[in-house]
Amino acid sequence: MERKVEIVEVAPRDGIQNERVLLPSADKIELIRRVAEAGTDRVEAASFVNPRRVPQMADAEAVMAGVERRPGLSLIGLVLNAAGLERARAARCDEVNVVVVASETFSRKNQGAGMADMAAAAAAILQDARAAGMRTSVTVGAAFGCPFEGEVPADRVLAMIESLLPAQPHEIALADTIGCGVPTQVRALLAGTRALAPAARLRCHFHNTRNTGLANVLAAVEAGVDALDASTGGFGGCPFAPAATGNVATEDVVYMLERMGVATGIDLDAVLRTAQWLGERLERPPIGGLSRAGRFPAVSAGACA
């Protein structure tokens, strides 16, 4: 039986949200078209947050209105509160990704409320989204460490997940928001989450800030993760992680997994072309290793396996 891991493309949201260059809506729509064309079934297309705090996402509605809908393509909107859910629903997102963080200080700075209040709000949003017929996922940010508090105990992450289970999210994601995590944490958190929620799909979100991104991907795949977030070109900084080098690059993740015999369904050559295209738009070169070194074996376009 062939193993498959789903890649959730986050370049249109996490990848660009902290970039200096503000992409026009048409370029964001083209980015989503390209990643869908490459074989990605789920794309984090926009976030419905305060446009004053995240100017790059101010045109979320315009992007969603302009993006091509395809059978089998799920467009995800990131939301933090009920107003965000309403916007995501009106913009016809297929899925909402509700974010909470496992740190009291980070929660207050990033979301404007403490952990307990955010978890309660998230549970209500998940239930409302589900009732509206949308797929739901909840992402626990700062699950591997906090830029303000340092180490985040696994027990706290798991307690937060447990508090969200009555809302029955379709998927639970563990996010290394600042790119500080290591594979032993990945194994422990995934095993703990699996024990709490045996029926939920599990997803991981890694940043390669300290070069542990692909090691964490491998640990997650070996621990049976269902989906991984990745960003074409490896773009994706974090305002709380100075000199962050971005999300794990889609091209690097696809290359490693496919060569290991783990299917992703994604055309690596198409990802590499889009990474270059996006780098030109953002006025800086892609960060992913494959984008710099080229694929191996160096065969011509068309071969995806």
Cβ closest to Zn ion, residue 99 vs residue 164: 99
Partners of residue 78 on adjacent β-strands? 47, 97
- The H or E element spanning position 77 is strand 74-79
Question: Cβ(139)–Cβ(189) under 8 Å?
Answer: no
Which value, to the nearest 10 degrees, does the dihedral of the CA atoms of residues 290, 292, 293, 298 take? 70
DSSP state letter for 207: B
| Closest CB to Zn ion: residue number | 14
Please state the closest distance from residue 172 (CB atom) to Zn ion, in A: 16
Q: Are 179 and 145 in contact (CB under 8 A)?
A: no
Please say if 238 is a catalytic residue: yes
| 267 near Zn ion, judged by CB under 5 A | no
Q: Which part of the chain contacts Zn ion (CB under 5 A), choosing from 9-17, 39-47, 150-158, 285-293?
A: 9-17
Of 146, 180, 238, 304, which one is the catalytic site residue? 238
Q: Of 18 and 168, which CB lies nearer to Zn ion in the complex structure? A: 18
Q: Closest separation between CB of residue 295 and Zn ion, Å?
A: 25
- Find tokens 């703990």 and name the residue: 192
| CA-wise closest residue to 73 among 26, 40, 29, 25 | 40
Q: Which of residues 12-31 bind Zn ion (CB under 5 A)?
A: 14
Q: Which residue has the tokens 């017929």?
A: 133
Between CA 224 and CA 11, with CA 99 as vertex, the angle to 5 degrees is: 75
Q: Which is nearer to Zn ion, 9 or 14 (CB)?
A: 14
> Which range of residues in 11-19, 38-46, 81-89, 187-195 is near Zn ion by CB under 5 A?
11-19
- Which x/- pattern over 118-147 shows residues binding Zn ion (rule: CB under 5 A)? ------------------------------
With CB under 5 A as the contact rule, which of the stretches 6-14, 57-65, 128-136, 164-172 interacts with Zn ion?
6-14
Q: Which is nearer to Zn ion, 14 or 27 (CB)?
A: 14
3-state helix, strand and coil shares in percent for the chain, rounded to the nearest 5: 45, 20, 40
The footprint of Zn ion (CB under 5 A) covers 14
Q: Looking at the annotation, which residues are catalytic?
A: 238
